[in-house]
Structure formats: C-alpha cells, structure tokens
Amino acid sequence: MTVHNRSCRRFVVGLAVAALFLSGAITRAEDGYRLWLRYDSLPKEMIDAYRTRVTSVVISGNSATLNAVRSELVDGCSGLLGSSIQTAATLDRNGAVVVGTPASSPLIAGLHWDRQLADLGPEGFRIVSLELNHHSAIVVTSIGEIGSLYGTFYLLRLIQTLQPISHLDVSEKPHLQLRILDHWDNLDGSVERGYAGKSLWDWKTLPERVDRRLTDYARANASVGINGSLLNNVNANSQSLSAEYLIKTAAIADTFRPYGIHVYLSARFSAPIDLGGLKTADPLDPEVATWWKKKADEIYHLIPDFGGFVVKANSEGQPGPRTYNRSHVDGANMLAAALAPHKGVVIWRAFIYDAKPDYDRAAAAYDNLQPFDGEFAANVLLQVKNGPIDFQPREPFHPLFGAMPKTQLMPEFQITQEYLGFSNHLVFLAQMWREVFDSDTYDRGVGSTVSKVVDGSLYAHRLTGIAGVANTGSDRNWTGHHFAQANWYAFGRLAWNPDLASRRIAEEWINMTFTHNAKAVTVIARIMLESHEAIVDYMTPLGLHHLMWGGHHYGPAPWWDTEPRPDWNPVYYHRADELGLGFDRTATGSNAVSRYHVEVRDRFANLDTCPEKYLLWFHHVPWDYRMHSGRTMWDELALHYQRGVDWVRGARKDWDGLAGVIDNQRYNEVAQKLAIQERDAIWWRDAVLLYFQTFAKRPLPAGVAPPQKTLAEYKAKSLAW
Ligand code: GCW
C-alpha cells in the first residue's frame, strides 16, 4: 500500500465515523453494564403519553442525595422520553416532577402531608399526580431524602415499564428494615463463590481512588431499595478491622451514603488477638469487651452510619465464643454492647453445624441456637439460611423460622449460584425464594408464613432484615450471566416487599432490561418462571440434595466420599443402597423432622402426605415405591432428570426465536450460556442416573435417553465451567 493510499483510507474511515456520530447511529454497547437502569428511548407510540406529564424537574436543595435524585431523574426522563428534560427553579408550566422532602422543598412543605409521610418513615414515599399552583405536576416525596430517592426510582420504573402515571397516588414503605447484600469478598480481590470476576472493591488503590463503578453499584441497589452492603467475606480476615483498612472502608461508605447504603463488616472473632495482641478473645473477658468497644468507637468516628458486624462463629473453622466454652449468646451480646451506643447491630449467622458422631446436619443449627431464644440482645439479629443445609437448589424451609419467636431472625439467601450452575445456568431465583416465604411454619396457627416471621408481623418485632449473598463482580455485565442480573433485582424487590409475585418481578425486569415487545416479554417471563423447577429437575429432584462435585460444587458427583467431614460428601445426603434412596429424617432415622411444628412435622414425616418435592429429603424410599403418578420412584426420578434436559432444549429454541428482538450482543451471549446449560443438564442426568442405577439395578424407563458416556468417564473428570 502506498502512503497516499493509507492516509486516504484513514480519511475515509474518519469521515464514516463522524457521519455515524452525527446520525446518532452509534449506540451504546449492549454489554449489560447498565443493568435495568438503561433509560433508552421508549417505543415511539408510547412517548407522547409521558411527554405531557413530564416536562421538567423541580428539586430545590443541594445535598448529595438530592443531587443524585436530580441527575437520575434528568438522565432517566431525557433518555426514556427521547428529549432533553431540564431542571427548573419554579413550577411555571404543566408536567413538572417535584421531588424532595418537606424540609428541602417549600412546594412540598405547603402540601402539609407531614403526618402521612411520618407514617411512611424516612425510606417510605408518596407519589401523587395533582394540580399544584394551577399546573399539573407529579410530587415525589418523603420525610427522608433517601425516601425521595426511592420514590424517584419508583417513578422511573413506572415509565420504564410503560405504566400509566396520570393518576398516581402511591404510598410505599419497605416491609423489612435491613436489606443487605453480603459480599464474600477477600482482601486479595478474590470472591468466595463468586462467578463474575474479581471483587468490586480495589483495596490496593483505596482510599485515594474510588472506582466510578461503585456509584453505579450504589444506584442499582438504591433503585430496588437495598440499603446495606457487607464488604468482606464472612470467612473473615481480621485485617478488615485494622486502621489501614477502615480508612478504605470509609471511602466506600462515603460513596454509598448519598444512596442510602450502609456498610457492614464481617468481624473475625479472634480480632482482639490478631490485631490487639490480646491473649484471648473470650467474650466474657473484660479486656476483650473493652477492645471491641474501642474498635466500635474508632469505626463510628470514621463511618458515623456504619451498619454493624456480621459474624460467622464456630463454623467451618472460624473462631468464636465456643472456642472459650462460652455460648453464642455470650459472643453476640458482647459485640452488641460495643455497637449499641452507636445504634449498630450484630448479625449473628446461624450457619453452625458440628460434626458429632451420627448427628444430622439438617438439625444442627436448630439444636445449637433454638434453646437460646429470648436471650439475644435487642440489637442482635440471627441470620438464618433459607433451608437447613446449605443453599441447595431446593430445600424445605429452615426449622428455626417459627421456632424462635423472641429472637429477630433474618433470612440469608444466596444470589450467587454456588450450587445452581454458577454464572452459566439461567435460573430465576425469585421462584425459589417465594417458596420459602410462603411456607407455613404454623407457629401461631395456619398462615404463620416465613414471610410473616421475617417481616416482624407475626411476633411484633421491631428490627427486621434480610441478606442476600451477592452475585456481583468486576465482569462488565456485573453478574457473569445477563439473566443473573434478574436475581440481584429480584432480591432487592423481595427485600422491599416479601409478598411480591415472582411474575411481576420478572416482567418488570424484562421490560426494563431487555424489551417492551409483548410477545418477547411473555416468552422470556415463561423461561424465567419455569427455570427453577427445571434446574431442580436436572440436578436434585424429589428432595435430593448436595450431589455436587466436592470443593467447587459445579456439576454432579453423587459418588463423592473423600471429604474430611462426612457431611461434606454427597453419599452422606442421598444414602443410596440396594433398597432405595434418600435420607430418613423421621423418627426411624435422624428425626430432624421433629424440629418442625407438629402440623408440618406430621405432613413431612408421613410418606403419603410428604410433598414429593421433599420426598428424599425426609425419607429413605424403596426404588419401587409407587409415586402419585403411579410410576415407581426410580422411573419417576429418571423422568425428572429427562424433563430437566428437555426444558433446557425448549428454552434454547424459545430464545432462538427472539433473534432480532434482542440486541445481537446479549442475544448471542445468552444463547451461548444456554448451550452450556444444555451440556451440563445432560451431564447431570447421565452421571446421576448411571450412578444410582448401580444400586437400583433397573433399566431406564421409556422416554429417558441413554447416557452419552460411561460412569467411569463421568467420575474421572468434573464438568468444566
Ligand atoms: O455454602 C457454603 C460455602 C462456603 C461459605 C459457607 C457459609 C462463606 O460453600 O464457601 O463460606 O457456606 O455460608 O459460611
């Protein structure tokens, strides 16, 4: 190529790029970074309905939160309505959106809504369409600035999901108080059970440099009402509480504060020894208590709105009060006393299981903690996983819910998919969480659901909360799989209101994230709403659990029996033998079922009334046992696995049909993940059925495809992710 040719080409390329810019044809990359806060222009035929209602933004005051409200509203409305919406100092035309608190806005103060707003609290809000100073307006208000921010996101969501806004009269407040994302992030940037890249916190460059991404993280959380963030792994490093790291944490807290997010830290129980040089961490030692009080003072000096400590004690090798022969109450209450003067809380994890001979892990947390009901300090919450084992694809609800009426329990859900196909499998977890919330504990008679335990209404608790183990990371799309974003979204929506329907959550998210095309929304919602049952089918149907490969937990290994603790091995959980399959947790076995209320216990303990989805969780069932369908248990089991595989194939076809409706990048990325999901579902079906067949000694029923490899091949190498 001659020099002339090269420069000529450069010129032409330059012209083309400039032309693209001018025509607006260069759109943003569809890499998923914007999550559900995309603010792309609404379908043309819809815009006019909103344009007359939203013409300007009137926000007086200049706090960090009000500034965040202003820029969100201006960006959001300008993007959605395809024209620049400006801020205005006064209400001089129709269509103003007026946002603020009675204290920040004279217009709002003039409405005299103080009583109603006080009832809704500082995070609650009202949104009303009305006439104000002879102009039509929409008022978004709260007694707290954070409430106005939440109201702003609510209004934006209405527009994003094409809801009418001409006659609004909305009053909302969160059902749960502490709505926290737990990050299992290590100080070296790795994330325990994280499948979306590295930690979002770059400890090396903090506090000098705070990644812009943290503001976007805070916006996303605030948009669904998440108000807390636990920054470090519950398998904690004491260094997180050192002066050096607290300054870094304070910089993160400063970034989150305008968005109403409080930071929490995992406290390693041995920190007084590790950092303070004390000889002991015995919670009843006065020097230890003093060390924690001073540490709390130091933290609150830097971070006045610090949320509190989360503690994993005497579990999986973590130190705790039992190390000193003290109780969990001794440990929790000692820390609670240090935080109480600052209004901080202690979140004590109930994920405690010891390895006594012949014990059943499903009863361990209950036996360790239930006897202490009523003894925890007022600022302690007990954080209980949704089920009694460990975030399995399906578990019955944890028996502690409904068994500790005098203790503030908060559920812990796992948003990251440790046991559910990492960031490779599409599974919408709202379905699974709904099942937990809707479970009836019977503690105060029929209708004593987990959601009523959790929202405090069953026992009139003051302090309530919920935690979700985050699935976020440094990946450009935040969560590895585009659909995993829906689980972050759903967690926030359910934390705000545990009674929300999963369909509603799914449809909101699809409209905001992918498309307004009604047909496509229906297809995608169906995929999402069916996905949880499908993953249960191809991983652990009929109440099976913990069949995963040791250590990393990706893919099946029901034969696994080499972990140092029996209860880390799949064989401990499925108990397959020549007679049948499943863990007898009734009176003839471990009797873990007795930890549930009598109504629940009797239903689960009786083979005829036990829901089949929990059958092998509670019973050791003969291979030829007749299921409700009339088929044998073995045949039914095999057909569940096949059904799971078939579902993934169907979902792939459905997704393929969306070509052209979804942007290319996300369409292709999701399609590729679905291909992996199909590969894995087949692997699960084949490996598990081949292995159980060595006990069942029965042929696969008609309709179940023959395995693609031998059992030896499946045992030789784990599935790769
Ligand atoms: O699910 C298990 C995980 C561990 C985790 C533990 C816990 C943080 O395999 O990685 O540790 O639960 O919840 O404490």
Per-residue pLDDT tens for 495-524?
999 999 999 999 999 999 999 999 999 999
316 is catalytic: yes
Does the CA dihedral 290-294-295-300 come out positive or negative?
positive
Question: Of the ranges 231-245, 342-356, 442-456, which one carries the lowest mean pLDDT score?
Answer: 342-356
pTM comes to 0.96
DSSP alpha helices (H): ranges in 192-234? Answer: 213-223
Does the CA dihedral 396-399-405-406 come out positive or negative?
negative
At 202, list the tokens: 């770059």
- Other C-beta atoms closer than 10 Å to the C-beta of 286 total 8
- Distance of CA 720 from the midpoint of ligand 1 (Å): 21
Nearest alpha-carbon partner for 321 in 355, 349, 359: 349
Nearest alpha-carbon partner for 404 in 436, 435, 380: 380
Per-residue pLDDT tens for 436-454?
999 999 999 999 999 999 9
Judge whether residue 23 has pLDDT over 50: no
- Choice among 123, 330, 390, 533 that is catalytic: 390
Predicted local confidence at residue 355, as pLDDT: 72
- Residue 33 CA to residue 30 CA, distance in Å, equals 8
Which protein residue has the closest C-alpha to ligand 1 atom 11?
A: 235
Predicted local confidence at residue 356, as pLDDT: 79
**Which ligand 1 atom sits closest to the C-alpha of 234?**
8
Predicted local confidence at residue 27, as pLDDT: 55
- Pocket probe mutation, ligand 1, options 190, 390, 415, max atoms within 8 Å of Cβ: 390
At 243, list the tokens: 């002066």
Percent of the chain topping pLDDT 70: 96
At 498, list the tokens: 């545990």
Looking at residues 183-200, what average pLDDT do you find?
A: 98
418 is catalytic: yes
Give the bridge partners for 412, in sequence order: 385, 467
654 is catalytic: no
Per-residue pLDDT tens for 466-496?
999 999 999 999 999 999 999 999 999 999 9
Per-residue pLDDT tens for 561-594?
999 999 999 999 999 999 999 999 999 999 999 9
- Distance of CA 470 from the midpoint of ligand 1 (Å): 13
Look at residue 196 and give its three-state secondary structure: coil
- Distance of CA 236 from the midpoint of ligand 1 (Å): 12
Q: What are phi and psi of 198, to 5 degrees?
A: -90, 180
Kindly report the average pLDDT of the chain as a whole number: 95
Judge whether residue 24 has pLDDT over 50: no
Give the bridge partners for 330, in sequence order: none
Q: What are phi and psi of 492, to 5 degrees?
A: -65, -45
AA identity, residue 383? Q
Judge whether residue 297 has pLDDT over 90: yes
- Pocket probe mutation, ligand 1, options 191, 230, 235, max atoms within 8 Å of Cβ: 235
Predicted local confidence at residue 2, as pLDDT: 40
- Pocket probe mutation, ligand 1, options 191, 351, 548, 573, max atoms within 8 Å of Cβ: 351
Which helix (H) or strand (E) segment is 495 a member of?
Answer: helix 485-496
**Distance between terminal CA atoms of the chain?**
45
- Residue 89 CA to residue 103 CA, distance in Å, equals 16
- Distance of CA 286 from the midpoint of ligand 1 (Å): 31
Judge whether residue 299 has pLDDT over 90: yes
Q: What are phi and psi of 116, to 5 degrees?
A: -60, -40
Which helix (H) or strand (E) segment is 265 a member of?
Answer: strand 262-266
Which protein residue has the closest C-alpha to ligand 1 atom 2?
A: 390
Per-residue pLDDT tens for 702-714?
999 999 999 999 9
Which protein residue has the closest C-alpha to ligand 1 atom 3?
A: 193
**Which ligand 1 atom sits closest to the C-alpha of 235?**
8
Which helix (H) or strand (E) segment is 48 a member of?
Answer: helix 44-51
Per-residue pLDDT tens for 198-210?
999 999 999 999 9
- Give residues (CB < 6 A) around ligand 1: 184, 192-193, 234-235, 312, 316, 351, 390-391, 418
Looking at residues 264-285, what average pLDDT do you find?
A: 98
**Which ligand 1 atom sits closest to the C-alpha of 469?**
13
- Report DSSP state, residue 358: T
Per-residue pLDDT tens for 141-166?
999 999 999 999 999 999 999 999 99
**Which ligand 1 atom sits closest to the C-alpha of 316?**
14
- Choice among 316, 561, 624, 656 that is catalytic: 316
Cα-based distances in Å from 111 to 73, 114, 141, 305, 431: 22, 8, 11, 31, 41
Residues listed for the chain:
721
Which protein residue has the closest C-alpha to ligand 1 atom 13?
A: 351
**Which ligand 1 atom sits closest to the C-alpha of 193?**
10
- Distance of CA 359 from the midpoint of ligand 1 (Å): 20
- Other C-beta atoms closer than 10 Å to the C-beta of 504 total 13
- Pocket probe mutation, ligand 1, options 418, 469, 569, max atoms within 8 Å of Cβ: 418
- Distance of CA 468 from the midpoint of ligand 1 (Å): 13
Contacts 24+ apart (CB under 8 A), 605-613: 612/542, 612/543, 613/394, 613/536, 613/541, 613/542, 613/543
> How do beta strands 409-414 and 465-469 pair?
parallel
Q: Which residues contact 646 (CB under 8 A, 6 or more apart)?
A: none
Judge whether residue 300 has pLDDT over 90: yes
Nearest alpha-carbon partner for 91 in 147, 37, 139: 139
Give the bridge partners for 720, in sequence order: none
Q: Burial, 622: exposed, middle or buried (Cβ in 10 Å; 0-12, 13-18, 19+)?
A: middle
- Choice among 172, 418, 455, 680 that is catalytic: 418
- Report DSSP state, residue 700: P
Judge whether residue 16 has pLDDT over 50: no
- Residue 491 CA to residue 502 CA, distance in Å, equals 11
DSSP alpha helices (H): ranges in 224-307? Answer: 243-256, 271-274, 286-302
Write b or e for each residue in 641-656: b if 16 or more Cβ atoms lie within 10 A of its Cβ, otherwise e: bbbbbbbbeebbeebe
- Distance of CA 370 from the midpoint of ligand 1 (Å): 21
Judge whether residue 7 has pLDDT over 80: no
Looking at residues 372-398, what average pLDDT do you find?
A: 98
- Distance of CA 246 from the midpoint of ligand 1 (Å): 25
Judge whether residue 417 has pLDDT over 60: yes
AA identity, residue 643? R
At 291, list the tokens: 């060390």
Cα-based distances in Å from 36 to 156, 223, 508, 514: 11, 9, 9, 8
Per-residue pLDDT tens for 38-95?
999 999 999 999 999 999 999 999 999 999 999 999 999 999 999 999 999 999 899 9
